[in-house]
Amino acid sequence: MTTPEIPQRSWSQRWHVKAVGWTALLVALLMGSSKMTGVDVGMFFSNFDQFTNLLVRMSQPAWSYVPIIIQPLYETIQMAILGTTIGTVFAVPFAVLAASNLVHNRWLRGIIRLILDLVRTLPDLLLAAIFVAIFGIGSTAGVITLAIFSFGMISKLFYEVIETIDMGPLEAMESVGASKVTIIWYAVLPQIMNQFVSYFLYTLEINVRASTVLGYLGAGGIGVFLQRSLSEFDYNKTAVIILATLVVVMVIDGVSNHLRRVLL
Amino acid sequence: MDQQPIISFKNVNKIYNNGTVGLKDINFDIPRGEFLVVVGLSGAGKSTLLRTINRMHEISSGEITIENEPISDYKGQSLRLLRRKIGMIFQDFNLIKRSTVQRNVLSGRVSYYPTWKSVLNLFSAADKDRAIHALERVNLTEKLYTRADELSGGQQQRVAIARTLMQDPKVILADEPVASLDPLTTQTVMDILKRLNQEDGITVIVNLHSVALARQYADRIVGLRAGAVVYDKAIADVTEADLTKIYQTA
């Protein structure tokens, strides 16, 4: 048997010039930026004992603290659910209008995306500070902050999902004589539902963690207790709060996995 | 046929934005109730021609009339009403895969409802019945509550035909309806189209690759090459030699 003639690879293909070049460039850029910003990686290792010291002090969680934090933790979860839901409700129409395969008007899409970029630029801590100033200390400020934060994040995640769908069913619905809204309802939603649900739950998870931080600014929830324990150097209590948050995050993760399997 | 044509092309040209010629000076009439097969190489403009009829593609010049009405000015509601009377079948079926067969079939009826009703799934009992009868026509009633992606290719195409029947169409456009199917299911799908043509008097326009299938089902064959009509004969006058010529590269 004769071997069939195989086309020759070019020199640059043979030695993967492109891949090697990009990797080298990336490493150089990383080193350059760490030098310019004055990041000292060595310090991470030389000061490691501080870190272990903290861990040791957190290693005996004050379990008696659990009953006290149940109520604020509950409040945190409520805030996160409310904030995420409100944000999502507003994010869906924006995501549809920002998707390039649904809206062909470049101007409309551009304006919508500009608004979304703007919303995402605002740091959540800044938002919380503003709303605490407006609504006073309490969970209202927290919920509104989380809603705006979720809106920015979810609308981006959603329109990127929408842009990956199969356009065939849309063409079919268009040929049937369906209106725009009907087309989206029948041909787009079923294709993206399970990714929507999983992104919603992911955002909820982030919001549970974020609301612990927002508590710092008086925006309600478990954050207040986290801040108190830290400022009193009561690391045993901090450990309890972190573990409790972990449980909540794990539960959300479990629900997310289950729902995605069911909705597939 | 002595009556008015249902569809008529007059000097239709289509030039894409990048300068490619899609359709070149198309002139022909399609009589009501005809089973027309359009043949030609890939890229000859078959899909484009079909989609100009329901305005899924716009033409650059000329005019298409359907039941003596020029269609190029339609927009919004009038365009949706035009599309309602023209059913379309696709190579890849284009069903909503995660939805049930019932929902897919009912989705062919949405243009008879205001948007809020179709969004809320408020189909009348008569239309749910109509969906069952549409499935009966394609022999798939037992799959009413099955998810579309659990069906075979041939079954999916039959569901797509049932969806089209819900529109109560006067014309069915079929763009390579059997290109993704095996020979046996190909016959089933083509037989269904032929039956709709003969029993319901629906005008059917089918794009096909296969010359053998074209000869088996068509009343008339139109050949396209590079966007122009190079062949147009009733089936009785078609010879094998003619058809090989259409498929020769120029």
As a whole number of angstroms, the distance between CA A263 and CA A71 comes to 32
Hey, of A165, A182, A183, which one would you mutate to test binding to chain B, going by the most B CBs within 10 A of its CB?
A182
Cβ neighbours of residue A124 closer than 8 Å, sequence gap 6 or more: A145, A146, A149, A210, A213, A214
Q: What is the ipTM of this complex?
A: 0.90
Q: pLDDT at residue B131 above 90?
A: yes
B52-90 tens-digit pLDDT: 999 999 999 999 999 999 998 898 889 999 999 999 999
pLDDT digits (tens, 9 = 90+) for A13-57: 888 888 999 999 999 999 898 888 888 777 888 888 888 888 888
Residue B221 lies in a domain: yes
Query: Looking at the structure, do residues B175 and B250 belong to the same domain, yes or no?
Result: yes
The total of other beta-carbon atoms located within 10 Å of residue A169's CB is 27
Whether residues B4 and B67 fall in one domain? yes
For residues B80 and B140, membership in a common domain is answered with no
Note whether residue B236 is domain-resident.
Answer: yes
- Spell out which residues of chain B touch residue A190, defining contact as CB-CB under 8 Å: 96-99
Per-residue confidence (pLDDT) for residue B249, from 0 to 100: 59
- Residue B11 is part of a domain; what is its CATH number? 3.40.50.300
Residue range A215-229: average pLDDT? 79
Are B72 and B34 in a shared domain? yes
Domain assignment present for residue B90? The answer is no
Cα distance between residue A237 and residue B109, in whole Å: 62
Query: What Å distances lie between residue A124 and A145, A163, A198, B43, CA to CA?
Result: 7, 27, 22, 53
Same domain, B73 and B113: no
**pLDDT of residue A92 exceeding 90:** yes
> Which residue matches tokens 């409790």?
A244
Residue B91 lies in a domain: no
Confidence of residue A147 (pLDDT cuts 50, 70, 90): very high
Among B168, B184, B199, give the residue marking a domain's end.
Answer: B168
| B217 in the same domain as B158 | no
- The whole-number pLDDT of residue B236 equals 87
Tokens at A79, concatenated: 């805030």
| Distance, C-alpha B16 to centroid of its chain | 22
pLDDT at B1: 47
Backbone angles phi, psi at A47, to 5 degrees: -100, 20
Residue in A177, A181, A191 nearest the CB of B119:
A181
**Which residue has 């005996």 as its token pair?**
A60
Ordered by where they begin, the domains of chain A are: 64-263 (1.10.3720.10)
**pLDDT > 80? residue A191:** yes
Among A85-99, A157-171, A209-223, B213-227, name the one with the lowest average pLDDT.
A209-223
Enclosing domain of residue B180: 1-85+171-250
A176 vs B contacts (CB less than 8 Å): 83-84, 87-88, 107-108, 110-111, 163-164, 167
Chosen domain end from B119, B134, B168? B168
Contact A176 B167 (CB under 8 A): yes
